[in-house]
Amino acid sequence: MKLLQITAFMIAALLLMAAPTWADSRQDAHRIGAFAGAMKYCVEIDDGREGRYKMARLRAFKEVDDMSSKRKVDAIIARDIAYDRGRYLGRKLDRNHCRQLVKASEWRRFFN
């Protein structure tokens, strides 16, 4: 009986240690999907940088393509919400915010 309790405790501990990684991966999927939706919205409101927004969006799509199916769904939902609402992670998108997003260091990986 004691061995069963120890085993159950070990399994629970392993699951709890893995939970933050799973949550982080869902956050990454949400963030990347929202970025792709924001770039689609930015193309419509800022003609001057259309090519750059499209490039960033395509690179984000490539990253989404490498995700597991559950994470892809999260990214696609976040993309659609960001585009429909014209918001990126809660902040309203305007021309200046769009330009800041493509210049932000966290997204430079999309332009390598």
Per-residue model confidence as pLDDT tens digits over 96-112: 999 888 887 555 555 44
Is residue 19 in some structural domain?
no
> What residues make up the domain containing 52?
25-111
Residue-wise pLDDT tens digits, 11-68: 655 444 544 444 446 688 889 999 999 999 999 998 878 888 888 888 888 888 888 8
Q: Is residue 1 part of a domain?
A: no
Alpha-carbon distance values, 108 to 57, 80, 104 (Å): 12, 23, 7
The CA distance from 62 to 105, in Å, is 19
Cut 0.85: pTM above it: no
Separation between Cα atoms, residue 93 and residue 86, nearest integer Å? 6
Structural domain contains residue 17: no
Q: Are 51 and 6 spatial neighbours (Cβ–Cβ below 8 Å)? A: no
Quick check: is 32 in a domain? yes
The total number of structural domains that make up the chain: 1
- Is 62 inside any structural domain? yes
Residue 31: inside a domain, yes or no? yes
Is there a domain that residue 101 lies in?
Answer: yes
